[in-house]
Structure 1
Amino acid sequence: MAFASRIRSSLPLVSKILKSDSLSAAHRALLAPTFTDSQLSRSFATKTTEKKDVKVKVPLALFGGSGNYASALYIAAVKTNSLDKVENEILDFVGAMTKSPMFSQFTKDLSVPADTRKKAIEDIAAQAKFSEVSKNFLILLAENGRLRNIDTIAKRFVELTMAHKGVVKVIVTSVIPLPAEEEKELNETLRDLMGKGKTVKLEQKIDPSIMGGLVVEFQQKVFDMSIKTRARQFERYLRDPIHWDNL
């Protein structure tokens, strides 16, 4: 009962923060950023499609190496109208690595010559009848020694395909599972924030270490309203003599 009451008491704060004007503005800025062509995306797009004049907007701004590769794959898949097929093929490839430790080790071993990795990927793609987009992308990773990052790249790519379909994944961390009423209220708040045409996919995580409250994560944003974080903030406040001088 105590844990449930803590969750319930934190929901108004969640709603207030999620519905704030500053958050809405930041959210709108991330919804449809234009992907800045890097050398990676230009070279990959050239290999996979002749529609060079078609500009594709990436639905989420992804950062880092994995984000760049995922964005390049998304652009190529959209240009060739093969987004669903490419998603399934990349996930199948990752699944095969998960099931075969030997294959996984092969893809991640940088001591294996790039030509050997490339030939293996070509054979696998041919047997699996992968699309040109998936095949060329996996070959690119093999040549650049990035196959070891394919699982992370695949996760980032799925984030883009979900956003393309209007699905927003939200991870909510709490001490205990959210009661049905609180989960419904949070869902409604998030749907209002996302706007029409968006579907919220709520994923709950249990973490007793946060001591209470909620941590809400979506689209590379984290809203930490946990008791653990509040306690740390209060401790820092008490340790800061500047605050006492202003009293």
Structure 2
Amino acid sequence: MAMAGRMRSIIPQFNQLLKSESQAQRSALTRALLCPTTANSEISRNYATSSKKSEAKVKVPLVLFGGTGNYASALYLAAVKANSLDKAEKELVDFAEALKRSATFSQFISDPTVHKDTKVKVISDVCADAKFSEIMKNFLAVLAENGRLKYVDGIAKKFQELTMAHRGEVKAIVSTVIPLPAEEEKELKETLQYIIGEGKKVKLEQKIDPSILGGIVVEFGEKVFDMSIKTRAKQMERFLREPVNFNSL
């Protein structure tokens, strides 16, 4: 319970910092996640001041907007400073997946009648059992305190966008009716890698979508390569419905 109390003590400052885009305030928030027991005095000293040069070196690789983007960015900064980005990503994704698998836990998280102190205590216990890092314990406690745990899946996805950008990865979503054979997946990945060139790495994600009827759809950055039977059928249907101009024959 003492741990939960220390985590709750940084909530007001955390909320103020999430509303700001300034580097100084984000740096203070990072320190709050890294060291919650000393966060209050440190934040009060640094809230309106410039950050140290060493802290200014850490920046989010993407500008994210909205509440989920702010939370993900704050966690990213703290995790990078603690040299635990991969661990934070795994823990956050694991927690989000656990919520999806457990209807009871998900209902508890979303229940507005459950007092926030109770949620913070439960989250603290869950994190302890899962042996989560201090940063993740503090972060999830903040979400519980603010009633934002129900958005953890969205936050996790935003956080993964940041970690992928940090590693120079570009996500490609491949939709097919059945899983791609390993050899075809390898060839597709090599083709996409050739398109983006050196310096970045393709991360392929397969998605099963029976609605496309067959073929393949590749979402790559802002591009969509649609070679599905469904789309071809629609194109053929439009073609057949067009009136025939016999003068052009």
TM interval, short-chain normalised: 0.5 to 0.7
Aligned Cα RMSD in Å?
3.6
1:155 match: 157
Write the distance in 2 (CA, Å) between the matches of 1:95 and 1:185. 30
Give matches, 1:1-247, under 5 Å. Answer: 39=19, 42=26, 44-49=29-34, 53-98=55-100, 100-178=102-180, 182-219=184-221, 222-229=224-231, 231-232=233-234
- Asked if the contact 1:40–1:72 (Cα under 8 Å) also holds between the matched residues in 2, the reply is no
Q: In terms of Rg, which structure is larger?
A: 2
Write the distance in 2 (CA, Å) between the matches of 1:40 and 1:116. 29
SS of the equivalent of 2:68 reads helix
Sort the Cα spacing of 1:55 and 1:174 in 2 relative to 1 into closer, same or farther, 3 A: same
Which deviations, in whole Å up to 9, do the C-alpha atoms of 1:166-191 show, x marking residues without a partner? Answer: 44332211345445664343222211
Which deviations, in whole Å up to 9, do the C-alpha atoms of 1:95-139 show, x marking residues without a partner? Answer: 543554332221121222222222332343445443332122112
Write the distance in 1 (CA, Å) between the matches of 2:107 and 2:63. 31
Sort the Cα spacing of 1:234 and 1:96 in 2 relative to 1 into closer, same or farther, 3 A: closer
Q: CA deviation at 1:146?
A: 1.0
Residue 142 of structure 2 aligns with an amino acid whose one-letter code is: L
Residue 195 of structure 1 aligns with an amino acid whose one-letter code is: G
Which deviations, in whole Å up to 9, do the C-alpha atoms of 1:56-86 show, x marking residues without a partner? Answer: 3434454543333222211221122121222
TM-score, normalised relative to structure 1: 0.64
Structure 2 residues not aligned, in runs of 5+: 1-16, 35-41, 43-50
SS of the equivalent of 2:56 reads coil
- What is the aligned residue count? 207
Write the distance in 1 (CA, Å) between the matches of 2:166 and 2:91. 18
1:3 match: none
Write the distance in 2 (CA, Å) between the matches of 1:161 and 1:130. 18
Q: CA deviation at 1:44?
A: 3.6
Sort the Cα spacing of 1:196 and 1:149 in 2 relative to 1 into closer, same or farther, 3 A: same
Sort the Cα spacing of 1:108 and 1:186 in 2 relative to 1 into closer, same or farther, 3 A: same
SS of the equivalent of 1:136 reads helix
Structure 1 residues not aligned, in runs of 5+: 1-36
- Higher-RCO chain (CA-CA 8 Å, sequence separation at least 6): 1
